[in-house]
Amino acid sequence: MSSQVKIFSGTTSRAVAEKIAAAYGQPLGDLSIQRFADSEIGPSFNESVRGCEVFLIQSTFPPADNLMELMLMVDAAKRASAYKVNVVMPYMGYTRQDRKDKPRVSIGAKVVAEFIQSVGTSRLMTCDLHAGQIQGFFDIPVDHLDGSTITAPYIKSLNLENLIFASPDVGGVVRTRAFAKKFGAEIVVCDKMRLRANEIASMQVIGDVTGMNVVLVDDIVDTAGTVCKAADLLLERGAASVRAVITHPVLSGPAHERIRNSALVELITTDTIPLREENEKIKVISVADLFARAIHNVVSHESISSLFI
């Protein structure tokens, strides 16, 4: 006899969690988050989870409080005798810190992976990690969903001629090539040099985009400096139009203003992170159905890869 499935949401991912639960075919469970005067967090389940397979939905943005809230939710579920506690993290923060790229720095992705496992998480379900090999930091099952499953069909629906895909940096070439393969299209690369984080010193285009409709492919847009500079440069190099398709709209600081004032026709993204403000240039496609199908397949012991291969 299979365990009863219950789905709960943290504070900041409520909107996408409601969509995921609806797509799965049941309402969100009843969970309260108490906040003390000093901002300390105390989650409490208002219904029994004993013997249940629990799915806790929470992205980490900004990472610290939301991550801590999620870990306390896992601990509460374990102490309430849940059969399994699965973390559904549409956006996992700290994944840009996946290696030592200079001396005396932390590997944040490894720290978060250890944190997630240390509280008794049974499995992690996430989407488009900054680097796929981050899965190797975990000793529990990781369901790594592919955001292009839902964004590529939208690009196809535009019926763009002379389509070419662009990576905004050398590190994103593998991701861009995989996306372009769905269309049988070529890729170009915007090679950038940074002086420091979130600040670009120079950029050049490797490849010919003359007369082409270009789609920039990335996983995260933070301050939008890279993607907007790349769009401007591609138009200067003769592109007919430039769009961008991403998965996680972090969109910090001046990002929205930069996107509005950029050469981008539109920025296509998912709702792994809710937008802080409305933006007429941003097209949002929900990951709810993808995650709901993944939860169903986990519960029924079916293939996850079948969802996007």
Domains of the chain are 5-146+288-307 (3.40.50.2020), 148-285 (3.40.50.2020)
Position 198 scores a pLDDT of: 54
Residues forming the active site = 192
Position 88 scores a pLDDT of: 98
Position 169 scores a pLDDT of: 87
Reported as a pLDDT band with limits 50, 70 and 90, residue 244 is very high
Reported as a pLDDT band with limits 50, 70 and 90, residue 101 is confident
Output the average pLDDT for the chain: 94
For the question of whether the overall pTM of this predicted structure is more than 0.85, the answer is yes
- How far apart (Å, rounded) are the C-alpha atoms in residues 279 and 260? 7
Reported as a pLDDT band with limits 50, 70 and 90, residue 22 is very high
